[in-house]
Amino acid sequence: MNGATSFSSPLCTWLVAACMSVTCAKDTSTAPHAFPSSSTSRRRRKAAAASATTAAASLSIRNKCAASASASSGGLLSSGGSSSNTSLVSSLCGSSLQGFMSSCLAFEPCSHYYASNGLFSSTSVPNRKHRRLLSRAHSGKVMAVAVQPTKEVAKKKPVTKQRRVVVTGMGVETPLGHDPEVFYNNLLEGVSGITQIEAFDCAQFPTRIAGEIKSYTTDGWVAPKLSKRMDKFMLYMLTAGKKALADGGITDDVMEELDKNRCGVLIGSAMGGMKVFNDAIEALRVSYRKMNPFCVPFATTNMGSAMLAMDLGWMGPNYSISTACATSNFCILNAANHIIRGEADLMLCGGSDAAIIPIGLGGFVACKALSQRNSDPTKASRPWDMNRDGFVMGEGAGVLLLEELEHAKERGATVYAEFLGGSFTCDAYHMTEPRPDGFGVILCIENALAQAGVSKEDVNYINAHATSTPAGDLKEYQALMHCFGQNPDLRINSTKSMIGHLLGAAGAVEAVATVQAIRTGWIHPNVNLENPDEGVDTNVLAGPKKERLDIKAALSNSFGFGGHNSSIIFAPYK
């Protein structure tokens, strides 16, 4: 017989109540009182009588149940029935509740119970409170309440060690190359990817330069039919994502072995499919019949991640985040959190944008945010330099393959670096301007350090957001000095000085640069830093040439319109 089933039966509930009533009545009647009143004595006598009636009724029903159980079990209790009943009576009347419960486990409710109207009649219930209790007992709810906490405690999850997250693959599409090695080597050599815009005629614009990708192909990565229909931000995302898989050693054979339910994609975009949407508007001027039927799905920021997941068959977490130029860092940190929480083992994460089209260029020109140094494009992006006049638009994608450490070890993956943690905050101040006191950035950095378990002294490399805008560069620098100014080994650089600002893709491409700095032991220079801004200490800023640095922990910042702040931290894997 199933003891657990017997234990949860309504009959046992009533027997527990009966036993407790007898015990309580006995204890109450023998407890000394200095001033007993006559009314109190009467109540005690009534309660004692009711309890005695209850106990008798319990025993009577119990004996009938025992007899029924003996008959139905084919004589299992025939020879020892008397001793069994005697044991039950002893447990009911004794002081040991444990003995009573053990005896109770031996029986199921019998036909006498089901044929009756209940163990307690209305005449034996002294008050309403007991009637409510008994009405719940008839439905079995009292026992459910009694045993549930015990079951919950038994199922409490054991304390487990936090899962570690590592970088095992990287993919990029940038103005300086389509491979992480080529891209970073160009950065180390101080090569600039900022040139005159060639994708369209921009003679009417005051800004005619950008970090434009000149040569790009989807051959071998994306089906030709999709290549003709998709927006470039999606194509950059798909190719960079697949390159990250290839770089991480995820071959076709390895892919077959993966649990695809635990593999996810979280790649965002700040601007989405601007060209697809703009082309749809132009077609609508003629007729809605001329519109691309894919204009809506291919313009949304989430569709790149969705299409990549469909292509790979990955059924884990899949979505995108759009927080302007902080998009990539938000995606990377959230992807890592999915792995830490045990919701995934692998995550492709990062960002992609392709906004170098007339409406994109015109929009940022209208904001008065762009540099107009058209005659010397390679000198246009100059973070922390006194002669900076705005940022330079860029385009591309960056994707990291994040993986749970033990999972990476099991498949023999190469670990490039470890992701330690990060943080987000909001300035809650202005759509495009940073807080004057820099508190939002400071709070973000300090929270990231706390979440990653890293001390300020251990951070000796920072890939700054530093877009080459007058206000943004200085406010970030001041926040960094507030947090790390006492670290004599600190070095800071800006990848945007050579590729421009890749908007939603910036954080991911700069995360690749950060991981490459950890891998190679070299940090790239700050180009165009000829006249540092007042109050900027050049001793902490990287110079015009690459520098050797043994990185302990590296921080990468990204900030976006709307006051979005994000900081993520990487370190060498040990």
- Could you report the per-residue pLDDT of 180-232, keeping only the tens digit for each? 999 999 999 999 999 999 999 999 999 999 999 999 999 999 999 889 899 99
Answer yes or no: is pLDDT of 108 > 90.
no
- Between 79-88, 344-353, 542-551, the lowest mean confidence (pLDDT) is in 79-88
pLDDT attached to residue 127: 53
pLDDT tens for 380-407 read 999 999 999 999 999 999 999 999 999 9
Q: What's the average model confidence in pLDDT over 435-464?
A: 96
pLDDT attached to residue 162: 87
- Among residues 12, 104, 295, 325, the one annotated as catalytic is 325
Residue 265 three-state SS: strand
Q: How far is CA 573 from CA 100, 118, 257, 570, in A?
A: 59, 68, 25, 9
Helices 97-104 and 10-30, interaxial angle, to 10°?
A: 160
Q: What percent of the chain has pLDDT over 90?
A: 70
- Among residues 465, 483, 524, 564, the one annotated as catalytic is 465
- Tell me the pLDDT band of 452, cut-offs 50, 70 and 90: very high
Nearest to 355 by CA among 392, 402, 304: 392
Q: How far is CA 135 from CA 117, 121, 431, 517, in A?
A: 11, 11, 62, 72
Q: What percent of the chain has pLDDT over 70?
A: 72
pTM given for the model? 0.73
- For the record, the structure tokens of 323 come out as 């927080």
- Between 15-29, 244-258, 419-433, 529-543, the lowest mean confidence (pLDDT) is in 15-29
Question: What does the mean pLDDT of the chain come to?
Answer: 82
Answer yes or no: is pLDDT of 473 > 90.
yes
- Tell me the pLDDT band of 61, cut-offs 50, 70 and 90: very low
Catalytic (active site) residue 325: yes
- Among residues 178, 338, 407, 501, the one annotated as catalytic is 501
Answer yes or no: is pLDDT of 55 > 70.
no
pLDDT attached to residue 25: 42
Cβ 502 vs Cβ 356: under 8 Å? no
Cβ 383 vs Cβ 466: under 8 Å? yes
- CA 39/CA 177 separation, integer angstroms: 95
- Tell me the pLDDT band of 160, cut-offs 50, 70 and 90: low
Residue 403, strand partner residues: 166, 346
- Tell me the pLDDT band of 535, cut-offs 50, 70 and 90: confident
Nearest to 92 by CA among 121, 126, 62: 62
Q: Which residue has the tokens 């705005």?
A: 390
pLDDT attached to residue 525: 98
pLDDT attached to residue 82: 40
Answer yes or no: is pLDDT of 22 > 80.
no
Q: How far is CA 528 from CA 380, 394, 525, in A?
A: 8, 17, 10
Q: Choose the most confident range, by mean pLDDT, from 11-25, 59-73, 536-550.
A: 536-550
- Between 17-26, 481-490, 495-504, the lowest mean confidence (pLDDT) is in 17-26
Cβ 380 vs Cβ 462: under 8 Å? no
pLDDT tens for 274-283 read 999 999 999 9
For the chain, how big is the Rg over CA atoms in Å? 36
Q: Which residue has the tokens 């519109």?
A: 291
